[in-house]
Amino acid sequence: MNERELISYEEQERHTAERILHKLQGEKYFTIRDFFEELHLSPPYTRLNLHPFWIGLPFYKTHIFTIYPFAKEDILQKAHGVTVRQLLSLQDDGKIQIILAGPPIGYVGLDYLDPILRLRPPSYTHRLSAFVTRLHGPEALNEWGTEGRELFWGKLEKLRRTIGVSTDQPAFEGSAIGAWVNLRALGLTSLAEEIRLVAAKDPNAAGLFVDLFHELICAPITTCLRGCHSVPLEYMKRGIPLTQVCPRCTQHLRDLRYEKHNI
């Protein structure tokens, strides 16, 4: 899709998120699922972040598949063991539901993804922002986004190279900022403050912490949409020892309490 088409897609996503937010303003009870109304999620469902992707298929009726802005299709295949054509076939069969990891405009020049982008799947960026806005208001969303940018933007290139992720630096750091916003939105204030202290000395260590704790605590509600959360064993083996660097972060994880919200 060319830039003009992706801008149109971006505007559509923004309007959809605003419409859902407006619809839910008078509702006392809502969940994250309400912000992804077009998805057909038959329980048990999960968001798979596995390699190869196929190994999780027999265990769930529906799988949320996140499309990252990988530069080439062979990177997608290397990361998940699946092609665009196979993803489209799986979605046609009702096996998966696709969500963009970032805003549509972030997929400019990724022509191999055009068959998926033309279907205009929802974007985590706009839908989760609407969810946070409904919970706490637009001022809180803006405040936490500003905090995340101050902590991580332009500071995680070393971390990106060290762990060898396949996304570019803006997408990688944008993910860390989004994780920070979700931690704050779900009421994990004390944990966020510990990560902020770590970031003052070592932003890369803080980037690891925010990713790990988001995956363990927030993702079951946010990116997994209250489904059955699947975490690769390799991720846990790599991530859990890192918590020893910040024992107080680990203690917050043990003592975890969410704020009382309908989430």
- The pLDDT assigned to 258 comes to 47
Contacts of 251 (CB under 8 A, 6+ apart): none
**Cα(83)–Cα(90) distance, integer angstroms:** 11
What sign results for the dihedral spanned by CA atoms 111, 116, 120, 124? negative
Residue from 137, 116, 215 nearest 175 by CA: 215
Phi then psi dihedrals of residue 67, to 5 deg: -95, 110
Q: Is 48 left (phi over 0), alpha (psi -120 to 50) or beta?
A: beta
What pLDDT does residue 197 have?
92
Which helix (DSSP H) or strand (DSSP E) does residue 89 occupy?
helix 84-92
C-beta neighbour count of 261 within 10 angstroms: 13
| pLDDT tens digits, 157-198 | 888 888 777 788 888 999 999 999 999 999 998 889 989 999
Three-class DSSP category at 96: strand
User: Diameter of the chain by CA atoms?
Assistant: 49
Q: What is the pLDDT of residue 261?
A: 46
Average predicted confidence (pLDDT) for the chain: 88
With CA atoms as reference, report the closest residue to 262 among 42, 32, 64.
32
Nearest residue to 30 (alpha-carbon basis) of 44, 20, 18: 20
Report d(CA 184, CA 180) in Å as an integer. 6
Strand order through the sheet with 96-100: 45-47, 62-67, 96-100
Provide the 8-state DSSP code for 28: S
For the chain, residues with pLDDT lower than 50 are: 258-262
- With vertex at residue 260, the alpha carbon angle to CA 125 and CA 213, rounded to the nearest 5 degrees, is 50
**Residue ranges with strand state E in 42-137:** 45-47, 62-67, 96-100
Rounded-to-5 percentages of helix, strand, coil across the chain: 60, 5, 30
